[in-house]
Structure 1
Amino acid sequence: MRVIYVLCVLGVLVPDAAGGRRHHRRHDCPPFTCGHLSDVSFPFRRRGDPPECGVQSYELTCADDKATIQIDKETYSVSDINYGDSTLWVVDASFLDSRSSCLLPRWNPLLRDPRLQAKSHHIIELAPPVGVTWASFVNCSQEIRNSSWMYMPVACLSTSRSFVYVFTGQQSAYIQNLEPSCGYLATTPLGGSKLNSTSALQNVSYQDVVKLMMTGFAVRFPFTVSGWNFKECLALSIRIANIAIIDFYFWSCFLLGDRSHNNLIYTYMVVDTALLILKWTAVLCRFVLAPLAVFIFLAHKYWRNKITIDAVEKFLQMQLTLGPTRYAYTDLTAITGHFGEKLGQGGYGSVYKGVLPGYVNVAVKVLENANCNGEEFISEVSTIGRIHHVNVVRLVGFCSEELRRALVYEYMPRGSLDKYIFSSKRSFSWDKLNEIALGIARGINYLHQGCDMQILHFDIKPHNILLDDNFVPKVADFGLAKLYPRDNSFVPLNALRGTIGYIAPEMISRSFGVISSKSDVYSFGMLLLEMAGGRRNSDMHAGNSSQAYYPSWVYDRLIEQQVGVGEISAATVANMHELERKLCIIGLHCIQMKSHDRPTMSEVIEMLEGGVVGLQMPPRPFFCDDESMSPMMDSYQFSSGLTEILEEDE
């Protein structure tokens, strides 16, 4: 009887609470006037309105006959609201307050995270409509004279060494339409219809763009209710609980009226309560706890994969307009001919040869350990995806579908440098070796100094230097690379990373100095010594520790001027080729134990471009001391292969 009564009351209350609550939210708040806007209604609200009126994310500020709204923490003036197509017309408030005629918009103010989740479970969206025309401002290191896009100069923002241009179009924000010497400064959507035709694009000047920016642009404001909030659910639960309490006290009062049957009444109440508890416990276990346990188990398995996918997808959405081409996995299957020609196997996956439309050869690296946190994938796309340099391998595109990920590079037909410098027959002349070393140094220096953010590679070694048809070297494999501000001299790292034999001492112990761009200089120095000698920097077959540690061996021969240097030269040190001697001396400069004793990559380039005359022998590195080498060699096990150390999250 009591159960039927509670269910009947609940059946009446639930529709009433839901319908009444939602109706109150939409219609009980009258329209209002805000600045020059009149008849403003749901989902918009004013600051200070009751919580049930409108949505917090659509809150308008009304002051001085103006209506403003906050979008991505920036203020925009609202000039019109169209409820028919759910759009509002906004103007950057900073433009209206500025008296300058030389304006530069914010960088992608509406593309950082266009879909937002409000606290009241309302799905909102504040983003420009699809197909809008964009104006992109670019900063170029050299003057643009001939281009398929109309680069219009912005004289008030340009200098003698920096040329600022603006060009418009629906695809102006795509990086493939950017000139190699240019980088993006800012981009903004444009309103109106003047720029929607090809003929109008040919006559758009900076002054025209400023006028259009001052008129503003449209953004969407769709609104969807996803369900009740916590307060509504809690209020309904309290009302149902009150009904059960009233029912309990009614029967207690009725039965306790007859004092002669107290024992029977108490027994009835205890038994009734115990049966009620057992019944609801069984129902709870069967219909709540058991499904909840299954749900938690499945959710845990799903979450482990989903968190990686979400992190990568969020990153890719941010890179959508500026990054390389995104391919579907089926596209890669067609490009590689069903992965028929395998080029090699690396620590992160297999590499296959492919052909793009237009007979452009590419190398497709399929990542096999894709169930990790995706950090290596994000690092590769975020670093190499923004680089355009002759000595850095170019990332053509990428693929990310669930846990299947791949990277598409330009094809390097000559392979990696290690198979040439470690061969029994010397493959290059000394002039060519010096040219290759100079190209590698320029590529690394571009990573350190040529980008907005300093890129530290942390894994410079012969295997990661690729050669094109003309043996032009290109730095590759950015899986361990990190981005840091260029003015930061200290780089925090929580884990060891790199390849044994090329890791700078400060990566192991901070007593040798701080981790910085000089860590890549150390790895490059080891690479130079291997290029000069044609052998790895460690050799387990050497007769003693001094010979096993190759830099020590080179240093002794250069200092003592002894005969029979072996792999350095077949003649005496005095008869060494001057370029061979130069590579060895520069390499020893780069591998100094203290990071502050090493040159920068810019200084290394100057030494490589100059002659051997004037090069001073550096101090003897700490690890070159025989006393220090013996215990170190006993505890250090060398192998013919290289051991790669990956970063692990703590």
Structure 2
Amino acid sequence: MAAGRVSVPSRLIVLVTVLGLYCGTFSAKDDDHHRCEPSSCGEIQNISYPFRLKHDPEKCGDKMHELSCENNITVLYLYSGKYYVQAINYNNYTIRVVDANVDEGNCSSIPRDSLTGYNYHHQDPYSFQNSDKIELSKPIIFITCKTPVNSPLYVETAPCTDAISSPSSALPHSQGHSFVMVGHVNASDLRELCRVELMVRTSWPGTKGTNLSYIDIHNELVYGFELSWLQSYDRGRKGSICYVNNDTNKVDCAYDCSYGWSQPNHCGMDIKENLSHL
């Protein structure tokens, strides 16, 4: 062996070459998706990665986060629901939406479909929680009871009771007294002869306490609710968890210690990928 030269196993050379090609492909693909100029629709002016509008070039954004522009309004279709986009926050990776059936000037307008944590699973593009597993919204629960209920937890839907109970509303078969409960409740809070009709969400930060009117609660529906798109980044990275680095406000991903890695030394280690665009 010549002085100063180190023999490198051929298998290692092949491995390094393959990894280099993989990383190059990963970076080039992401760069390609981020060369697109931001789109706009109505009041939402900066629609950029991971979002895209339906008719944007194929290379732009992520199909899992595709939005529509309808009558100059940005629209998100999620499960069976249609939602109007109110804001996109690229600093905390959230999007705020409101059910398309909710009208600010009509207190009898309510969402048509329930939306709860049960709708979601890990592979979905959105979540009710942020990177710290803190809920971004609280539930609003519509209830009908055959008899009156005297409880601060139960807010009467008056002056919109008749409209909400009408055949044209989202609660066509409801009879009796209509109430709304805000926030998480226990099964014991549900009175006899009462049933849950609809469960929706709100991220309204203003009104607090139990002294609410139904108009206050309808304003919360008008404000809408936030969803995080952060979890979409660990989709496809089996056994990983992605989070916002507080120092850089960028997304980092690490091997999830609860996943049960065959190599324990991987637990908690950062996954070395080009995530600078997130």
Aligned to 1:171: 184
Secondary structure at 1:105's aligned position in 2? coil
- Counterpart of 1:42 in structure 2: which amino acid? Y
Aligned to 1:69: 76
- Counterpart of 2:125 in structure 1: which amino acid? I
Kindly state the Cα deviation for residue 164 of structure 1 after the two structures are TM-superposed. 1.1
Aligned to 2:38: 31
Query: Is the Cα contact below 8 Å between 2:95 and 2:228 reproduced in 1?
Result: yes
Ranked by relative contact order (alpha carbons within 8 Å, sequence separation 6 or more), the top structure is 2
Structure 1: how far apart are the matches of 2:204 and 2:187? Answer: 25
**Residue-by-residue CA offset, 1:247-277 (whole Å, 9 max, x unaligned):** xxxxxxxxxxxxxxxxxxxxxxxxxxxxxxx
Secondary structure at 1:167's aligned position in 2? strand
Which of residues 87, 94, 107 in structure 2 aligns to 1:80? 87
Kindly state the Cα deviation for residue 53 of structure 1 after the two structures are TM-superposed. 2.0
Query: Is the Cα contact below 8 Å between 2:85 and 2:97 reproduced in 1?
Result: yes
Distance 1:178 1:11, change over 3 A: closer
Unaligned runs of 5+ in 2: 1-9, 167-173, 238-278
Secondary structure at 2:233's aligned position in 1? strand
- Counterpart of 1:63 in structure 2: which amino acid? E
Aligned to 2:119: 113
Secondary structure at 1:115's aligned position in 2? coil
Kindly state the Cα deviation for residue 92 of structure 1 after the two structures are TM-superposed. 0.8
- Counterpart of 1:133 in structure 2: which amino acid? K
Kindly state the Cα deviation for residue 23 of structure 1 after the two structures are TM-superposed. 2.9
Distance 1:105 1:175, change over 3 A: farther
Distance 1:14 1:57, change over 3 A: closer
Structure 2: how far apart are the matches of 1:71 and 1:116? Answer: 15
Map residues 226-241 of structure 1 onto 2, 5 A cutoff.
226-227=235-236
Kindly state the Cα deviation for residue 225 of structure 1 after the two structures are TM-superposed. 4.9
Kindly state the Cα deviation for residue 10 of structure 1 after the two structures are TM-superposed. 4.5
Which of residues 20, 23, 29 in structure 2 aligns to 1:15? 23
Aligned to 1:528: none
Structure 2: how far apart are the matches of 1:85 and 1:12? Answer: 32
- Counterpart of 2:109 in structure 1: which amino acid? L
Map residues 425-504 of structure 1 onto 2, 5 A cutoff.
none
Q: Number of residues paired by the alignment?
A: 211
Distance 1:131 1:54, change over 3 A: closer
**Residue-by-residue CA offset, 1:327-355 (whole Å, 9 max, x unaligned):** xxxxxxxxxxxxxxxxxxxxxxxxxxxxx
Structure 1: how far apart are the matches of 2:18 and 2:66? Answer: 35
Secondary structure at 1:187's aligned position in 2? strand
Kindly state the Cα deviation for residue 106 of structure 1 after the two structures are TM-superposed. 3.4
Query: Is the Cα contact below 8 Å between 2:155 and 2:213 reproduced in 1?
Result: no
Structure 2: how far apart are the matches of 1:11 and 1:208? Answer: 56
1:57 aligns with 2:64: yes
Unaligned runs of 5+ in 1: 118-122, 229-650
Could you tell me the TM-score, scaled by structure 1's length? 0.30
Secondary structure at 2:55's aligned position in 1? coil
Query: Is the Cα contact below 8 Å between 1:60 and 1:67 reproduced in 2?
Result: yes
**Residue-by-residue CA offset, 1:470-492 (whole Å, 9 max, x unaligned):** xxxxxxxxxxxxxxxxxxxxxxx
Secondary structure at 1:108's aligned position in 2? coil
- Counterpart of 2:190 in structure 1: which amino acid? L
Structure 1: how far apart are the matches of 2:59 and 2:175? Answer: 56
Distance 1:101 1:125, change over 3 A: closer
Structure 1: how far apart are the matches of 2:226 and 2:82? Answer: 15
Secondary structure at 1:24's aligned position in 2? helix
Distance 1:11 1:34, change over 3 A: same
1:193 aligns with 2:205: yes
Deviates more, 1:100-109 or 1:37-46: 100-109
Distance 1:41 1:177, change over 3 A: same
Deviates more, 1:46-55 or 1:148-157: 148-157
Structure 1: how far apart are the matches of 2:119 and 2:175? Answer: 34
Structure 2: how far apart are the matches of 1:108 and 1:66? Answer: 23
Structure in which a larger fraction of residues adopt helix:
1
Distance 1:161 1:226, change over 3 A: closer
Query: Is the Cα contact below 8 Å between 2:144 and 2:175 reproduced in 1?
Result: no
Map residues 505-524 of structure 1 onto 2, 5 A cutoff.
none
Structure in which a larger fraction of residues adopt strand:
2
**Residue-by-residue CA offset, 1:65-88 (whole Å, 9 max, x unaligned):** 210111113110001111111111
- Counterpart of 2:179 in structure 1: which amino acid? Y
Structure 2: how far apart are the matches of 1:131 and 1:10? Answer: 41
Map residues 147-546 of structure 1 onto 2, 5 A cutoff.
147=151, 149-154=153-158, 155-156=161-162, 157=164, 162-168=176-182, 170-172=183-185, 174-195=186-207, 197-198=208-209, 201-202=210-211, 204-222=212-230, 223-227=232-236
Secondary structure at 1:84's aligned position in 2? coil
Structure 1: how far apart are the matches of 2:151 and 2:31? Answer: 58
Distance 1:176 1:51, change over 3 A: farther
Q: Which structure has the bigger radius of gyration?
A: 1
Distance 1:171 1:86, change over 3 A: same
Aligned to 1:140: 145
Aligned to 1:255: none
Secondary structure at 1:94's aligned position in 2? coil
- Counterpart of 1:192 in structure 2: which amino acid? W
Which stretches of structure 1, 4 residues or more, deviate above 3 A after TM superposition? 6-15, 98-101, 157-161, 225-228
Kindly state the Cα deviation for residue 105 of structure 1 after the two structures are TM-superposed. 2.6
Structure 2: how far apart are the matches of 1:60 and 1:20? Answer: 24
Could you tell me the TM-score, scaled by structure 2's length? 0.64
Structure 2: how far apart are the matches of 1:177 and 1:131? Answer: 23
- Counterpart of 1:130 in structure 2: which amino acid? E
**Residue-by-residue CA offset, 1:150-171 (whole Å, 9 max, x unaligned):** 4324431459961111232x22
Aligned to 2:128: 127
Kindly state the Cα deviation for residue 9 of structure 1 after the two structures are TM-superposed. 6.2
**Residue-by-residue CA offset, 1:607-628 (whole Å, 9 max, x unaligned):** xxxxxxxxxxxxxxxxxxxxxx
Aligned to 1:41: 48
